[in-house]
Amino acid sequence: MTASPVVCRSCGGKNLKRVLDLGKTPLANSLLTREQLSQPEPAFPLDTVFCADCALVQITETVPPEVLFRDYLYFSSFSDALLAHARKIVDKLIASRKLGPQSLVIEIASNDGYLLQYFKQAGVPVLGIEPASNIAKVAVEKGIRTLNEFFGDALAKQLREKGERADVVIGNNVLAHVADLNGFVEGVALVLKDDGVAQFEVPYVKDLIDHCEFDTIYHEHLCYYSLTALDRLFRRHRLKVVDVERVPIHGGSLRVQFAPMASAARPSAAAVALLKEEAGWGVGGFEFYAQFGRRVEDLGKKLRALLGELKSQGKSIAAYGAAAKGSTLINCFHIGTETLDFVVDRNTHKQGRFMPGVHVPILAPEELLKRKPDYTLMLTWNFAEEILKQQGEYRQGGGKFIIPVPEPKVV
């Protein structure tokens, strides 16, 4: 069912050093139905390592993609912040790449068409590639041309042979999920036009470690990237870094553009500067990553102490966000039904299910106003600003939020 890499997923090196061991946890997005509560629930090791040869941080366990992604409950369109983020990406790319009716934009892991819809509205032809059957179906119903497939070099060859080559290839939060990195990036090189660009957004490993964002680590996220690690990976497939931007979404991400080696595009000043900056903080040395495990352990003690004190005072506690990061946090810190009465989430596909491992029920956000818990643990802290605005009435009624990362605080 699972296989642990004895070598780095990117470079094939064997010089892997342990960064953090979170024990065995259930699959973070495998939300349970009531009927499944009594059934055995698989759990898998969640062990994070650093490759001293190419600087890639990665987990050791690979759960087959078919298990993780064929039936998926994460719909990007349920986040207003994500939709606004997508629209800005589209507007910027249309302007900078002069995209129009003769262009083609391919998005890998296109979800429910949340981003491609804005290209389509602007008259730019699109193709989405989405492995989750239930989500691809929603995109098609919206009129977004979508292939229900996993992307890799084999699919890219088929597209290239049909003349489907892209002016822009987009992948937001997909590179972290890829087991066959080299097959995937080779596919990008094959499907990209000679003068095209590929743009990927990935959570930035430095932000993850600096801000103790350990809950970004789960079985779907196989890799955690620096620009250095990305540069080394893409160069093996004839693609070069031409621009980079640090963006705040998902706790801190990199937006990186790549172009074919043979193209005239040159690395921007920002790309050159960030590679130099990474060398300065020791991106290729283990020392930067070594303290992470102890900081996560300390965070767990502080959060459990805070929640325990509130429960001892007779306070009621709920949680907001049935997301993967929330599953990692409450399972690794052993926070279950003894502490949390329920979790709320805007995603109607998640409501009525239960959190993996700890089996806390998932309800609609309206339950915060109905049940009025004293405190709500914000598991989707990466969208804190959006959620705090949405829950103004709950807060005005005396409800308080606990933001757990990077340090537990009550707002």
pLDDT tens over the chain, length 411 residues: 344 457 999 999 999 999 999 999 999 988 999 999 999 999 999 999 999 999 999 999 998 877 775 555 556 556 777 889 899 999 999 999 999 999 999 999 999 999 999 999 999 999 999 988 889 999 999 999 999 999 999 999 999 999 999 999 999 989 999 999 999 999 999 999 999 999 999 999 999 999 999 999 999 899 999 999 999 999 999 999 999 999 987 778 999 999 999 998 999 999 999 999 999 999 999 999 998 988 999 999 999 999 999 999 999 999 999 999 999 999 999 999 999 999 999 999 899 999 999 999 999 999 999 999 999 999 999 889 989 999 999 999 999 999 999 999 999
Q: Measured on CA atoms in the order 345, 351, 354, 356, is the torsion positive or negative? A: negative
Question: Domains in the chain, start-ordered, CATH in brackets?
Answer: 292-410 (3.40.50.720)
- Is 271 within 8 Å of 199 (Cβ atoms)? no
User: Cα–Cα distance between 83 and 141 in angstroms, integer?
Assistant: 18
Q: What is the pLDDT of residue 1?
A: 37
* pLDDT given at position 4: 45
Determine the pLDDT at residue 74. Answer: 54
Read off φ and ψ for residue 300, nearest 5 degrees. Answer: -60, -40
Instruction: From residue 103, give the alpha-carbon distance in Å to each of 19, 112, 258.
Output: 43, 21, 18
Query: 270: exposed, middle or buried (C-beta count within 10 Å: 0-12, 13-18, 19+)?
Result: middle
Amino acid found at 323: A
With beta carbons less than 8 A apart as the criterion, state whether 136 and 130 touch: yes
Structure token digits, residue 167: 């002016």
Dihedrals phi, psi of 188, to nearest 5 degrees? -60, -45
Report CA 322 to chain centroid distance, whole Å: 14
- Owner of token pair 């990927």: 200
CA distance 329 to 261: 41
Nearest CA-CA partner of 175 in 10, 385, 350: 10
**Sign, CA torsion 112/97/271/179:** positive
- For residue 370, the model assigns a pLDDT of 96
Distance in angstroms (rounded) separating the CA atoms of residues 204 and 231: 14
C-alpha of 41 from chain center: 23
How far is 35 from 26, CA to CA, in rounded Å?
17
Specify the residue for token string 């605080």. Answer: 409
Whole-angstrom Cα distance, residue 23 to residue 384?
Answer: 28
Element (H or E) spanning 117, and its range? Answer: helix 116-121
Give 71's DSSP letter. Answer: S
State how far the alpha carbon of 71 is from the alpha carbons of 37, 133, 153, 230, in Å.
18, 6, 23, 29
Q: Using CA atoms in the order 302, 307, 308, 312, what is the torsion angle rounded to 10 degrees?
A: 140
314: left (phi over 0), alpha (psi -120 to 50) or beta: left
- Distance between CA 138 and CA 112 in Å, rounded? 6
Single-letter code of the amino acid located at 113: G
Per-state percent for the chain, helix, strand, coil, to nearest 5: 40, 25, 40
Q: If you compute the radius of gyration of the chain from its CA atoms, what whole number of angstroms results?
A: 21
Helix (H, G, I), strand (E, B) or coil at 187: helix
- Measure the CA–CA gap between 296 and 144, rounded to whole angstroms: 41
Measured at the CA of 70, the angle between CA 69 and CA 72, to 5 degrees, comes to 60
